[in-house]
Structure 1
Amino acid sequence: MKRLLQLVAVVLMYRISWKKLFVVVAIMTTVGMVLQTHTLPYPMATWFLPPQTMVSSYKSLNGSTVHLTETLSLESAEQFQLVPTAPVVSLNSSTELVKSVPIVEERAQVSPRRNSSSRTRRKNAKIDKMNEKKVVFHPPPPRTVPTRLQRYIWSLPPDEALLFAKREIQNVSTVTDDPELYASLFHNVSVFKRSYELMETILKVYIYRDGARPIFHAPHLKGIYASEGWFMKLMEENRQFVTRDPKKAHLFYLPYSARQLETALYVPNSHNIRPLSIFLRDHVNMIAAKYPFWNRTHGSDHFLVACHDWGPYTVNEHQELSRNTIKALCNADLSEGIFVAGKDVSLPETTIRNPRRPLRNVGGRRVSQRPILAFFAGNMHGRVRPTLLKYWSDKDEDMRIYGPLPNRISRKMSYIQHMKSSRFCICPMGYEVNSPRIVEAIYYECVPVIIADNFVPPLNDVLDWAAFSVIVAERDIPKLKEILLAIPLRRYLVMQTNVKMVQKHFLWNPKPIRYDLFHMVLHSIWFSRLNQIQISVS
């Protein structure tokens, strides 16, 4: 063994050319690296980065555009090209590199499956398609550093912040292009947009925790009076606008339900609703005695939201509540002397059949698939509907005017199908001026025809109802068909397009989104508060 080691040492020292050995090893190493590089699934110069997806963008108060981005998960990223070339990389200061190791490993595990049978591929494709439908991306909340202007606004006392907003709106610049807003729907889209942005930046609402269920803090989310319940629910869940510090509040919310008040206190067939208004009067007096905020403004910075027909009458026993408080009411009737245009807010009356799916059946048909000129079906409530049936029930094939929809008709075509098949949907008042058919028509993309004298249409402070509806005086019911046929086709097509565009402003989303009905109602309340502020001319 010793002699063998000596022999090997002699050979290595005297008989091998180390220079030649070094060259051979270098050549073999180089060839090995080249072969290995060509066998890799991706070039070595590639960075494996998941794509960045633009979720949304918005303009901040200082005029700079802020983009919100989020990185897609692996499952959804499979739809996109995941391998951008390494030398060309453009990153914003806020963008972070994402480690690529898990993605590469995942792709390496998946790639052998591509050689499986066609049956397995089809099965996987179906599963992928099912999973693809389930993936829903929600933009994250803005995480921007407050601008100097925002910090200045937040430092202002509530009254001074409102005064600042009032001046900003008076000096608003013209909006030329906004992809989120359709200018034709608004009286002044520039004023609305600026006011809405200021609301998002400034507004804080304090919600009184006083009051026992079910009259307070118990939203009723179903039926024709659901608007007050949905607003209450979404307001009490909100984090952006709600404050726990009343000293920071610009508005104070009285979270009562007129629908629940009627259910709890009204004696059936008594025809006496005074106990309801007395109850609310006593509650407000308790609030005024317990807190300093009511007496400070005599209730002018407080608001309530009531959709029941009796909503206006529940405030009659308290003078300041009736005169000063901002009332968002479905029963927006000017003739009663309770609703005050410019101060109070006309609340849309929305029928919610399934609270878990409030947007069910929303959508309509093309104009070419609407053979019916006008449609109405409903109970004979109030003074207008009997007159409508007197002149148009069973009188004209183009005018489908019914009382309750007959079974022989509904078996062939449902109420909703009638609305989706009609060019105009007749919305006459019932016992009170508002009707859930107005918003139903918008949901089903049918131009609403409003017949209710002294009625202030919903959100009339910002929306131009002449752009997407027809308003007919009660005395003109005999000429209803003549009025509708006098609208040129080109004008009708514009109106029907406007109905589609305004639809998003009347939707109750379980999680509120920008410019939906929750935000539109809140903005009208905010805008009403700003209208109360007087700027002294110096």
Structure 2
Amino acid sequence: MGFKLLKAFHVETRRLLWLTGLVFITVVLFQCIELPKGNSLWSMFSPGEVSEQKVNFFGKNSTSYLVSNMSSPSAVNSKIVSEDGNNFSGRVDEGRNNVPFISENPELGNTTKSNSSFTESLKEYFALHKGNSNLALIKPLGAPLVLSHDVAPNFSMEFGTSAPPAPPPLVHVSAKNPRLTVFEKEVLSLSDMSEALIQNFASPSTMIPRWSSKADEELVLAKQLIESAPPLKDGLYAALYRNASMFQRSYELMEQMLKVYIYKEGDTRIFHRPPLLGIYASEGWFMKHMEANRHFVTKKPKEAHLFYLPFSSLQLEETLYVPKSHDRKPLIQHLEDYADMISAKYPFWNRTEGTDHFLVACHDWVPSETKRQMANCIRAICNSDVKEGFKFGKDVSLPETNVRKSQNSLRDVGGKPPSKRKTLAFYAGNTLHGYLRPILLQYWGNNTDPDMQIHGTLPRSKDNRNYINYMKRSKYCICPRGYEVNSPRVVEAIFFECVPVIISDNFVPPFFETLNWESFAVFVAEKDVPNLKNILVSIPKKTFLQMHMRVKKVQQHFLWHPKPLKYDLFHMILHSIWYNRVFQFRPR
């Protein structure tokens, strides 16, 4: 009897131990999967912790946090197959102490030997490109910099060969970033947008490349140099910019470092055919200058920091859209087929899931046409609507420019001095284009107030002379939204040196990551249209004169030249794409 009781006791004990073990394992798995990474239990299983450091993006009063996950369980012991068929086993270091980095902070450890060779190579790079090789400008970021020890070697595949073997999986950084509370608002103010921009630069939802490249190391260096930018040199008016020193340094680095590869494929009805006239001319002029450029364009894709998808959204609409069908599926499908072809034929899209690819497109439909297959790309778009998926810190607000003479894009630039601008405010345009313009005409139309020259469509005149003359002699030019948030009047106002008054809720103004728009433009909420005159009259004369002067100074950034000039519209578009790539990039 005693023996049977003892045996039963052992059986029950084993069952209890098994049950306890199952409960423990279940709890651990639940913690790892469901709880945030800051949880103490998660830290037991995650060798790569998140490091934080305050980084100033926009000046002395702006503070943000740079978040970088330098290792991930899914990145450990990943196996890469190079394009020549050789296997390469790369191991991402499991502990922070094993990762080489550049640092002047003794608390972070000493620079490794591999860092020394990396530093020398960077000096050689800048010497070759006549850049600044003084690496003392590099400030420690407080987070390890993973160098080229896990680069897949011998990427020498030429275009036109068969598709490469499947690479290892991407590592997602901040894939579950909490949505900012500002997006819960129906209308975002400019300060809300700035908050979102700072947050997304500090902790972008982006992908770590499947394998590293020399271009990646250059992006890391560029970010460090931009953040440690020296005081502003002569030539730029600081009030126009969020941070003039950082902009100037970033622009210089773009000139020294940036390489862009342009895909040659594409239906010739849609790709490589730039429209140079009309309100969508921005995409065409950029394409024309980009494809003709010899300084930034490279024929060696493995050297490229960015890959250009050279399609025209206007040509896409004119080629594939059936008028009045309301069916955009053929347009969306065409772009998705193109992206599928690029990703199947070449390794570059797959390395980053398209995050180092960019497009420049001005048609109103572009956000919906590119929100799936091209969602990870840097999208320079005119329809920069927060509520239609514009991503701060990744996407670029493209200026909508109405070019009337392709042979003379600078015709009529400029306007009367402030003392000869007798009209307080001017607007003219199609009153049926969207819901806002009828409201504007309802309150301020019919010329009931001589100070407020608010019209529908003006009588026809040669070269639209009536419209141009009104802009040249008005203090403020009203820029209301149309069907979408964007309007060519914003750039037209700057072109004719008239202070733009932007009435378009949730519109991200062009080059928002660089320019301080409130220094030279007026923003009026759509709900405040009935109070428009009072708002403009309340602006002191001294403030208007200052804004008018700044409009003249910022004008250089909004001009198309037959041959691109420093700081002009072509270079500003390219710079914003470069800048966003630098600050959204996360190394392996």
TM-score, normalising length from structure 2? 0.63
Q: Taking structure 1 as reference, are residues 479 and 149 closer, same or farther at Cα in structure 2, changes over 3 Å only?
A: closer
Aligned length: 385
Distance 1:230 1:413 in 2: 24
| Matched residue SS, 1:271 | coil
Deviation at residue 406 of structure 1 after TM alignment? 3.9
Structure 1 partner of 2:567: 515
Q: Does 1:505 align with 2:557?
A: yes
Structure 1 partner of 2:455: 402
Q: Which of 286, 289, 299 pairs up with 2:341?
A: 286
1:18-33 alignment, distance < 5 Å: none
Distance 1:529 1:412 in 2: 40
Deviation at residue 397 of structure 1 after TM alignment? 1.0
Distance 1:374 1:451 in 2: 13
Structure 2 partner of 1:442: 494
Q: Taking structure 1 as reference, are residues 466 and 393 closer, same or farther at Cα in structure 2, changes over 3 Å only?
A: same
Distance 2:465 2:424 in 1: 16
Structure 1 partner of 2:49: none
Q: Which of 222, 228, 239 pairs up with 1:165?
A: 222
Q: Deviations over 1:316-343 (max 9, x none)?
A: 342xx11x11000000001112x11211
Structure 2 partner of 1:178: 234
Q: Does the 8 A contact of 1:150 with 1:201 survive in 2?
A: no
158-167 or 412-421: which moved more?
412-421
Structure 2 partner of 1:305: 360
| Matched residue SS, 1:178 | coil
| Matched residue SS, 2:336 | helix
Deviation at residue 510 of structure 1 after TM alignment? 1.0
Structure 2 partner of 1:262: 317
Structure 1 partner of 2:54: none
Q: Taking structure 1 as reference, are residues 514 and 259 closer, same or farther at Cα in structure 2, changes over 3 Å only?
A: same
Q: Which of 349, 352, 362 pairs up with 2:400?
A: 349
Structure 1 partner of 2:205: none
The amino acid that maps onto 2:304 is A
1:127-526 alignment, distance < 5 Å: 146-147=129-130, 157-175=214-232, 177-179=233-235, 181-318=236-373, 321-322=374-375, 324-337=376-389, 339-380=390-431, 381-394=433-446, 395-406=448-459, 414-526=466-578
Q: Does the 8 A contact of 2:131 with 2:256 survive in 1?
A: no
Q: Does the 8 A contact of 1:445 with 1:496 survive in 2?
A: yes
Q: Taking structure 1 as reference, are residues 228 and 174 closer, same or farther at Cα in structure 2, changes over 3 Å only?
A: same
Q: Does the 8 A contact of 1:346 with 1:456 survive in 2?
A: yes
Q: Does the 8 A contact of 1:262 with 1:276 survive in 2?
A: yes
Deviation at residue 171 of structure 1 after TM alignment? 1.5
Q: Does the 8 A contact of 1:195 with 1:527 survive in 2?
A: yes
Distance 1:368 1:148 in 2: 45
Q: Deviations over 1:477-536 (max 9, x none)?
A: 000000000000000000000000011110011100100000000000000101112479
Distance 1:352 1:313 in 2: 25
Q: Does the 8 A contact of 1:389 with 1:402 survive in 2?
A: yes
Distance 2:464 2:400 in 1: 28
| Matched residue SS, 2:340 | helix
Deviation at residue 148 of structure 1 after TM alignment? 7.8
Unpaired stretches in structure 1, ≥5 consecutive residues: 1-143
The amino acid that maps onto 1:479 is N
Unpaired stretches in structure 2, ≥5 consecutive residues: 1-126, 139-147, 149-212
Q: Does the 8 A contact of 1:277 with 1:316 survive in 2?
A: no
1:47-62 alignment, distance < 5 Å: none
Q: Deviations over 1:79-106 (max 9, x none)?
A: xxxxxxxxxxxxxxxxxxxxxxxxxxxx
Structure 2 partner of 1:72: none
Q: Does the 8 A contact of 2:129 with 2:256 survive in 1?
A: no
| Matched residue SS, 1:414 | helix
Deviation at residue 145 of structure 1 after TM alignment? 6.9
The amino acid that maps onto 1:352 is V
The amino acid that maps onto 2:455 is Y
Deviation at residue 170 of structure 1 after TM alignment? 1.5
Q: Does the 8 A contact of 2:237 with 2:553 survive in 1?
A: yes
Deviation at residue 151 of structure 1 after TM alignment? 12
Q: Deviations over 1:1-35 (max 9, x none)?
A: xxxxxxxxxxxxxxxxxxxxxxxxxxxxxxxxxxx
Cα RMSD (Å) of the superposition?
2.2
Q: Taking structure 1 as reference, are residues 366 and 247 closer, same or farther at Cα in structure 2, changes over 3 Å only?
A: same
Distance 2:133 2:355 in 1: 26
Q: Which runs of 4+ in 1 moved over 4 A?
A: 144-153, 409-413
| Matched residue SS, 2:316 | helix
| Matched residue SS, 1:275 | helix
| Matched residue SS, 2:359 | strand
Q: Taking structure 1 as reference, are residues 164 and 145 closer, same or farther at Cα in structure 2, changes over 3 Å only?
A: closer
| Matched residue SS, 2:380 | strand
Q: Taking structure 1 as reference, are residues 412 and 285 closer, same or farther at Cα in structure 2, changes over 3 Å only?
A: closer
TM-score, normalising length from structure 1? 0.69
Q: Deviations over 1:348-385 (max 9, x none)?
A: 00000011101111010011111100000000211110
Q: Deviations over 1:186-214 (max 9, x none)?
A: 01100000000111111000000011212
Q: Does the 8 A contact of 1:182 with 1:501 survive in 2?
A: yes
Deviation at residue 405 of structure 1 after TM alignment? 1.2
| Matched residue SS, 1:162 | helix
Percent of counterpart pairs with the same letter? 57
Q: Taking structure 1 as reference, are residues 376 and 243 closer, same or farther at Cα in structure 2, changes over 3 Å only?
A: same
Q: Does the 8 A contact of 1:166 with 1:533 survive in 2?
A: no
Deviation at residue 182 of structure 1 after TM alignment? 1.3
Higher relative contact order (CA 8 A, sep 6+): 2
- Say which one has the larger Rg: 1
Distance 1:412 1:220 in 2: 20
